[in-house]
Chains A and B, each alone.
Chain A
């Protein structure tokens, strides 16, 4: 079925206000994608071919309105990067339940809503690429990150199951775990802990956003029809 309003590939990225999400928006806009981004707070930058929505990704109604816009304006969605995520460094005995709900809503529930709404548009064109962001907090079993790691473990499971549910629609679902990268997400982590963490990676240095983009490029390539349900842990975890 070909009923596309635009020839350009359309990509949706969650959590584009800063960090990796912003880097992805810049990189893929330069590569010729029309990029739609979202974040709770407004952005302070301008990118060509970029549209921004201010919303909470776990707010189903707002998210559905955004997808309605995508469908009407572009008639297609080729790629979703589920990047939005929050953490909270704290011992589990000191973690309030409100924080647990907040992390699960943003990291897991929102991932599910974004993925299913994306798939509804993608399946019409029999093509789609969904890339989830997971974390080394899962295999490293990082103390102080119990709920964050649990949410990312759930996304690994979601990646694997959705890859099977969406395969018949021509949609692949994969996940990448970036190496340690100095972003806001780890700014509260003590330096000594980060040094120890880097030692646990096979490659003992911080990664760069561009290196994560190489992995995403592989997952979202139009030629890459046979790789789905895969999780790539970068840095040699």
Chain B
């Protein structure tokens, strides 16, 4: 795992800790395999919005980079990058990499 991938994972785990404080009767596990949404025990649409905003903020704070995770690219993927913690970390890594190439 690269350093940046590890840092992004830490950031997302950090966001999970914070979002879990607001969740009632459910918790998102800090594992790359954890699912984020899709059934009632996971995040609903409102909680998912809060979680994504939180992750964006933490990336800005830790990496000094602004990123919009819900751009057209994310929404047009065959498989949503928000399915699991792992797919989200991979998507952030790719996006930040593309951004630095821009």
Using a CB–CB distance below 8 Å, which chain A residues touch chain B?
61, 64, 68, 120, 123, 168
Contacts and interface: CB of A to CB of B under 8 A. Distances in A.
A120 B51 CA distance: 11
A120 B57 contact: yes
Nearest to A71: B57
Size category of the B interface is under 10
Nearest to A61: B66
Contacts of A123: 50
Contacts of B31: none
B46 interface: yes
A61 B60 CA distance: 12
A1 B66 CA distance: 24
Given A64-B60, A120-B57, A123-B50, 5 more contacts: A61-B66, A64-B66, A68-B60, A120-B53, A168-B46
Contacts of B53: 120
Nearest to B66: A64
Interface string B32-72: 00000000000000100010010001001000001000000
Contacts of A61: 66
Nearest to B46: A168
8 contacts: A61-B66, A64-B60, A64-B66, A68-B60, A120-B53, A120-B57, A123-B50, A168-B46
A123 B57 CA distance: 13
Contacts of A68: 60
Nearest to B50: A123
A64 B67 CA distance: 10
B95 to A, nearest CB: 16
Contacts of A64: 60, 66
List 7 A-B pairs, minimum CB-CB distance, nearest first: A64-B66, A120-B53, A68-B60, A168-B46, A61-B66, A120-B57, A123-B50
Contacts of A168: 46
A161 to B, nearest CB: 15
Nearest to A121: B57
A64 B57 CA distance: 11
Contacts of B46: 168
A64 B50 CA distance: 18
A126 to B, nearest CB: 11
A125 to B, nearest CB: 14
Nearest to B49: A165
Contacts of B60: 64, 68
Contacts of B66: 61, 64
A123 B53 CA distance: 11
A162 to B, nearest CB: 13
Contacts of B50: 123
A61 B99 CA distance: 13
Contacts of A120: 53, 57
